[in-house]
Amino acid sequence: MLQFLKSRYIVPIAALLSIGLLSVGCVSFPKDSAGAQSRQRGAGQKKGGAIPVDVAIARPDFLRSPSEYTGTTVPFRTVSLRSQVQGQLLALNVDVGDEINKGQFVGQIDDALLKTALNQAQAELAALKSEVARATTQVSNARVEVERARLELLQAQADAKRQEKLLKQGAIAKQVAEQTRTTARTNAQALRAAQERVRTEQQAVAAAKGRLSAQVAVVAQAKERKSYGKVKSPITGVVLEKVTEPGNLLQPGNEILKIADFSRVKVVVDVSELELANIKLGQSVKVRLDAFPNQKYIGSVTRISPAADATARLVPVEIVIPNNDGKIGSGLLGRIRFKNTAPQKIVVPLTAIQGKAREREKSQLIRNGKVFVIARKDGKIKVTARTVTLGEQADGKVEILSGLQPEESYVVRSGKPLKDGDAVKLSILSEKSALTEKN
């Protein structure tokens, strides 16, 4: 029995010990593993000889993306339709959202008093016309009297001359000649009186005509005021708001409707004073509306405020967008980016630059660096070190002022430090150019 138990437990224990020794023999320490992997990579690089690099193509661009401004759409213009006369609003034929045309009849104000005033003015006008006619007749009669007096005077003067000759001849008495002269003088006075009457009657006609002209204006005004009883739209647009309802008593100046012109839409944005140099009147601007994300709108700058906010240094700028289809309403969010008018420069990531900046003459900080440009030599892609002049830096990018031309391929980053003439191979993150596509 004892012998059986020993044989039963000793065999499994021995088997477990053998498995443990085999496992320990297969385990390697981290340092040994890292060294082995390094030796394997070194051996691979020695065999291939090409260093993996990320490559990009030099292109002109802006160092900073243009700022995006937001604003809210508003109608091109909004007009308040107001009552021009006093009276009760009898009817209002439109509602909010209705489209109306210029001159369209939209409501009626009680015009009974206006009709009465017009009738009175027309009656007064008729009376003045009769007065002018009477005065004109008086002038005509006075002129007839003047002509009669003139003829009588001529006859009296002729008689006086004839009697004067007879008196000199002694054919008549002196008394008779004196009577003839007196008659001539009387006729001359009558002529002057008739002529004065003509002038007086002409003045009366002129005064009557003046009153007639004034009354004509009164009648025209009364007609105009009566026409105000019919409420008409002053513009073509859409009803934004009904301010009053039929039955209300209106006074001159009371608002009835608000009408908006949506043929064009305005967006007002507050622009930083630093970007005013890039904005001009009439400039085209791309506008995006969140309500219509798939639609692109081209607006134009119609107004640049001459006054900036004293605290935030922001300047209101107004952009007008065409709204030919009438889809754009009021209160929509608009996003605007103004085109940068500054010249573009070659912009590369800072990771592509090797070397340090140094100061040069004229007190200007001109930073020089080194960029590796790739080219095909002897059937292989190799790098060439190129000295470049750097400009401003922002957002992990830097401007290249000189030393790198557009469409040249350059190394953005590499798997190991590079030196002039090294052979390289492109990573999957590289941009493909005509040069590299041959590989």
CA-CA distance, 146 to 152, in Å (whole number)? 10
- CB neighbour burial string for 130-156, b if at least 16 within 10 angstroms, e if fewer: ebbeebeebbeebbebbeebbebbeeb
CA 48, 54, 55, 60: dihedral to nearest 10 degrees?
-170
Report residue 248's pLDDT band, with 50, 70 and 90 as the boundaries: very high
pLDDT above 60: residue 400: yes
Q: Please give the Cα distance from 104 to 261 (Å, whole number).
A: 15
Task: Please give the structure tokens belonging to residue 394.
Answer: 């922002």
State the pLDDT at residue 47: 46
Distance CA 251, CA 378 (A): 94
User: Taking 70 as the threshold, does the pLDDT of residue 73 lie above it?
Assistant: yes
At the top level of CATH, the class of 68-74+261-337 is mainly beta
Q: What is the share, in percent, of the chain residues with pLDDT greater than 70? A: 84
Top-tier CATH class for 53-64+344-438: mainly beta
Mean pLDDT lowest for which of 62-76, 137-151, 174-188, 310-324? 174-188
pLDDT at residue 434 above 50? no
- Domains of the chain by residue range: 53-64+344-438, 68-74+261-337, 78-111+229-250, 113-227
Question: What is the token pair recorded at 402?
Answer: 């000189």
Q: Indicate the DSSP class of residue 423.
A: B
Confidence of residue 15 (pLDDT cuts 50, 70, 90): very low
> What is the pLDDT, as a whole number, of residue 4?
39
CATH 3.40.640.10 fits 78-111+229-250, yes or no: no
Answer with the residue of higher pLDDT: 96 or 341: 96
8 A C-beta contact, residue 409 and residue 57: yes
Write the DSSP string, 308-355: --TTT-EEEEEEEEE-TT----TT-EEEEEPPP-SPPEEEEEGGG-BS
pLDDT band at residue 359 using 50, 70 and 90 as cut-offs:
very low
Give pLDDT tens digits for 338-352: 876 667 788 888 888
Q: How confident is the model at residue 435 (pLDDT cuts 50, 70, 90)?
A: low
192-209 pLDDT tens trace: 888 888 888 889 889 988
Determine the average pLDDT of the residues in 60-80: 86
Average pLDDT, the chain: 80
Between β-strands 424-426 and 51-57, what pairing exists: parallel, antiparallel or unpaired? parallel
pLDDT in tens, 137-158: 888 888 888 888 888 878 878 8
